Structure 1
Amino acid sequence: MITFDTLISADELAAAQKSGAPLMVLDCSFELTDPQAGQRAYDSGHLPGARYVHLDQVLSTTKTGRNGRHPLPSRETFAAAMAALGLDADTQVVAYDNAGGMYAARLWWMLRWAGHPAVAVLDGGIAAWKAAGHALSQDAPGAPAPGSFRLKPSLVTTVSYDEVQANIDSAERLVLDARAPDRFRGENETMDPIGGHIPGARNRLFKDNLGADGRFKPAAQLRREFDAITEGRPAAQLVNQCGSGVTACHNLLAMEVAGLRGAALYPGSWSEWSAQPGAPIATGAA
């Protein structure tokens, strides 16, 4: 069994495809402002053998107005969806997208949430695949045979709205917000009705995990940058959030690459937090 559990390069993925080992490649391309753009991008050209996974339809569940913009499905529902795609317990999964990994990281985190350790994100996404000289395909793979995947103990940690609210006073954990700095400050909010951030949170824009080439920065550099923001706190004392629980997973992936394993996700994130009556809200840079 191949065992990539954070990132995989384009050449490593190409070699894995040739090896004949159990492998599933999933295209997670998406645009928040155009939910069908990812499917169109997939149809125009994707990695050979890849299947498309839609953020709203597979990686999220029904919105209630209080549970955020991309609420998690149940673990059981998600596991069944992955088995329907052909996932077996010994399958190496590789997720990619056309947006620097911001959507692929959500699938990476969710598979770990379901107890599947052999999942990695294609470093640099479809752009890196093409830059390495590998071909794309417009062929849609046939219907998969159902896989045998079943839930296992979760490999990740989540926290609820109530836990994050209680933490404001205790400050036992530090919240890292993956949104753009202007949204963190409460300016130019376009996705959610209310701008601002969770009191006590610090800002770590997920895009800062990437270098100029669109790939993740080296592990040592990521570690230095996270330690500078968190003042060296261990991962177990960190909670990651964003607008809707998607790009926070990018920070969680970067932290894993940096050796900071075990940080939690607040899945509802700002879109859930700001929808709760009386939720405390801070604005400004701190």
Structure 2
Amino acid sequence: MDTIVSVEWLSKHIYDDDIVVVDCQYDLVDKESGYKAYLQGHIPNARYADLEKDLSGPVNKHGGRHPLPSSSKLQSVIEKLGIKEHSKVIAYDRQMGAMASRLWWLLKYAGHKQRAVLDGGIKAWEDAGLSLEVNATEVKRSYYPISLDQSMVVSMEEVKDAILQGKMIIDSRARERYLGESEPIDNKAGHIPTARNLFWKDHMNQDHTWKDKESRGGVVKGEKPPIIYCGSGVTACVNLLAFHDAGIEAKLYPGSFSDWISYEDNPIEP
């Protein structure tokens, strides 16, 4: 199936037996607002996945603000969502695909093949005048053993090696954060040495839909697979999806900048 699907496609297939729709709305400032919004109105049959409770692991000294969930936790979440091996999973949010792309990437990491992000998210669904449901969807728990693909991720030490080897590293944050001119979240500003900037929102139109493949900023075919990071490994997944669509399987630095700066000796460039 396509990596990005339209509301027209989903509206035609919403009640297919193999379709699993997952609402990933989440606000980093108001952390309960995403679930409240889900209960107040969501795409029919959608179930909810919370960025921090479901799509992240526990925060420690190192590992960043949104560490990857363990294999056992991710399996439990996938089963809680009712996802089976043959399921076609459609993720959406109201954050221009940032949270939905995190689930899309985690499913790939877990070995699930049929997964997509809804183009334009719930905003596009609403703009099309399509119906919403309220309250939580009842879900029958599935059984789905998973196998994590560790080749998709790199450690902090591997990022250090990549710097020395001149490998491409991409910072997915807004340019002012990349340049160290503004840092609203982390306690240090700047970027990982040698990283180039590709803001994840550069792939999006103002109405939250994805730009055409040819118009998405910065994705160049023929480049060696880059290492991609952001603040905490979430919005980097938008870039990972864009590169995937361009035929490039990039790697994620899960802890991203928030992990990098947790090591006092790690250098930072302005």
Calculate the TM-score normalised by the size of structure 1: 0.90
Query: Following the alignment from structure 2 to structure 1, what is the Cα–Cα distance between the partners of residues 227 and 94?
Result: 26
How far 1:155 sits from its partner (Å)?
A: 8.9
SS at match of 2:228: strand
In structure 1, the residue matched to 2:157 is: 162
How far 1:278 sits from its partner (Å)?
A: 0.2
Task: Name the CA shift for 1:220/1:156 in 2 (closer, same or farther; >3 Å).
Answer: farther
Pick from 111, 115, 124 the counterpart of residue 128 of structure 1. 124
Gap runs ≥5 in structure 1: none
Aligned 8 A contact 2:99 2:235 in 1: yes
* Residues 236-257 of structure 1: per-residue CA shift (max 9 Å, x gap): 2x11100000000001111222
Q: Within 5 A, what are the aligned runs for 1:111-260?
A: 111-142=107-138, 144-152=139-147, 154=149, 157-171=152-166, 173-222=167-216, 225-227=218-220, 233-236=222-225, 238-257=226-245, 259-260=246-247
How far 1:261 sits from its partner (Å)?
A: 2.6
Query: Following the alignment from structure 2 to structure 1, what is the Cα–Cα distance between the partners of residues 182 and 264?
Result: 22
Calculate the TM-score normalised by the size of structure 2: 0.95
**Structure 2 residue identity aligned to 1:240:** I
* Residues 183-214 of structure 1: per-residue CA shift (max 9 Å, x gap): 10112211101111000001111111002332
Q: Within 5 A, what are the aligned runs for 1:56-67?
A: 56-67=52-63
Query: Following the alignment from structure 1 to structure 2, what is the Cα–Cα distance between the partners of residues 12 and 156?
Result: 32
Query: Following the alignment from structure 1 to structure 2, what is the Cα–Cα distance between the partners of residues 116 and 146?
Result: 17
Q: Within 5 A, what are the aligned runs for 1:258-277?
A: 259-277=246-264
Query: Following the alignment from structure 1 to structure 2, what is the Cα–Cα distance between the partners of residues 155 and 13?
Result: 31
SS at match of 1:252: helix
SS at match of 1:103: helix
Q: Please tell me the root mean square deviation across aligned C-alpha atoms, in Å.
A: 1.6
Q: Within 5 A, what are the aligned runs for 1:94-109?
A: 94-109=90-105
Query: Following the alignment from structure 1 to structure 2, what is the Cα–Cα distance between the partners of residues 122 and 115?
Result: 20
Aligned 8 A contact 2:14 2:44 in 1: no
**Structure 2 residue identity aligned to 1:248:** A
Aligned 8 A contact 1:89 1:148 in 2: no
Gap runs ≥5 in structure 2: none
In structure 2, the residue matched to 1:40 is: 36
Aligned 8 A contact 2:203 2:215 in 1: no
Q: Across the two proteins, how many residue pairs are aligned to each other?
A: 270
**Structure 1 residue identity aligned to 2:97:** G
In structure 2, the residue matched to 1:24 is: 20
How far 1:148 sits from its partner (Å)?
A: 2.4
Aligned 8 A contact 2:89 2:115 in 1: yes
Pick from 1, 4, 8 the counterpart of residue 5 of structure 2. 8
Percent identity over the alignment is: 38
Aligned 8 A contact 1:116 1:152 in 2: no
